[in-house]
Amino acid sequence: MWDVIRSPAGLYILHIGYLEEVPQQLWIYLELRHIHLSDLSFALRSLRASIINPRPAIYSTMSGQRFEPKNMLYRNLGNSGLRVPVFSYGGWLTVGYNQKGDLVKDLMQTAFDSGINMFDNAEAYAAGESESQMGRVIKELGWDRSDIIVTTKVFFGTGDKERHNTRGLSRKHIIEGVNKSLKRLVLDYVDIVFAHRPDVTTPMEETVRAFNYLIDKGLTFYWGTSEWSAMQIQQATEIARRLNMVGPVAEQPHYSMLHRERFEAEYEPLWRYENYGSTIWSPLDSGMLTGKYNDGIPQDSRYHHNLGGAMDERIKELESPEGKAKIEKVKKLTKIAERLGGSMTNLALAWTLKHKGVSTCILGATKPEQIKENVKALDIYPKLTPEVMEEIEKILDNKPDSPPSYGRLTTDGQLM
């Protein structure tokens, strides 16, 4: 067996009765990285097990389909080196709910063929079924793993609220939750793991260390946040810096023409000073910005089928005076979209891409033709000149106040 022991004379690795001294440089490195001896012992035992009984790869890297990015635009995910498409495909309220089997395959294949190679999920989506469906399709389609970006999120668990340690951002749930997600996705690793919500009951340092454990073990490359406050994101970032660890690289917030306050005000310093990335969700505001609700609720819409919970609130909003005022704005914006040679959907999606803080925009299409329509926003995007953006701004009339500036210096000494 392998083990690590510390004595007054130094640090030693014990292996089948033999002691081998650990070099002083490695000892210092372990101290600086705050790596516990128990963690090192576990890693050595795992290494020995993998040598004696190597784990077969869950996901083959051999591919029958080569990814073609088409005319997709790519951006760095925040201050990381990861290049992501400006449009990605998500499993919330789509995969694993009413969409299963061949339909999921059609949706993901259409996305892939349209230049979308980033797929978002979460342990909570359809109580884990969304991950299972998406993982099945990835395996069946035989995509090269290096061609795709797969993300998931942990916090809510899969719905069992009575089991306290199957939720939250404790070290236990983060590690166990991600391992369960990987089994459902039939993958050895995901590219990004997001903390689906902040957990005020768990010390932030524990959460930061747990995500770094996942990175060190090769279970993910990056980690991020979702619906965290700017202060919580900054706290996690500073703790990671102090510990010489990897900090979060991106936030997953709600952002659209009709939902701007947090993204453009509270988070603005993150985009400006930290170069924090984002993977925005609901850019079409649950369909309101497509124009489909201009004349009521269509029978083929998710509002008509009403999935309960958040949908109940959205239906009430749609039927309220505020909702009707938003519909009037959409009708006016539709005229601009038509003038530019596109649809309201195209305009709404392209508009989000104009914000420098947006890394990728998550699409939640339930039909293949919706995905094809969504990516046409790339044709509208270059037509959004400052004059057109100003015209849109006058109709929206909801730009949040800019956060106060306390005078920061740029690298060349200029006051910002």
What is the arithmetic mean of pLDDT over 119-147? 95
pLDDT of residue 315: 74
307 vs 257: which has the higher pLDDT = 257
Q: Is the pLDDT of residue 50 over 50?
A: no
For 81-125, the pLDDT digits (tens) are 999 999 999 987 666 555 667 899 999 999 999 999 999 999 999
Instruction: Give every CB contact of residue 379 below 8 A, 6+ residues apart in sequence.
Output: 341, 342, 346
Binned at pLDDT 50, 70 and 90, residue 16 comes out as very low
Q: Is the pLDDT of residue 255 over 80?
A: yes
User: Is the separation of the CB atoms in 244 and 208 below 8 Å?
Assistant: no
Lowest mean pLDDT among 127-136, 267-276, 400-409: 400-409
Dihedral, 345, 321, 92, 175 alpha carbons, nearest 10: 130
Dihedral sign, CA of 268, 271, 273, 274?
positive
Q: Is the pLDDT of residue 414 over 60?
A: no
Residue ranges and CATH numbers for the domains of the chain are 2-52 (no CATH), 74-396 (3.20.20.100)
125 noted as active-site residue: yes
pLDDT of residue 18: 42
Pairing label, strands 74-76, 87-90: unpaired
d(CA 146, CA 131): 19
Tokens of 213: 């454990």
pTM: 0.79
pLDDT of residue 92: 78
Residue 148, helix vs strand vs coil: coil
Proportion of the chain above pLDDT 90, given as a percent: 66
What is the arithmetic mean of pLDDT over 231-236? 98
- Please state, rounded to an integer, the average pLDDT across all residues of the chain: 85
Per the DSSP assignment, residues forming a β-bridge with 87 are 361
Q: Of these residues, 89, 97, 125, 267, which one is catalytic?
A: 125
pLDDT of residue 10: 54
Lowest mean pLDDT among 240-249, 271-280, 289-298: 289-298
For 311-340, the pLDDT digits (tens) are 677 677 777 889 889 999 999 999 999 999
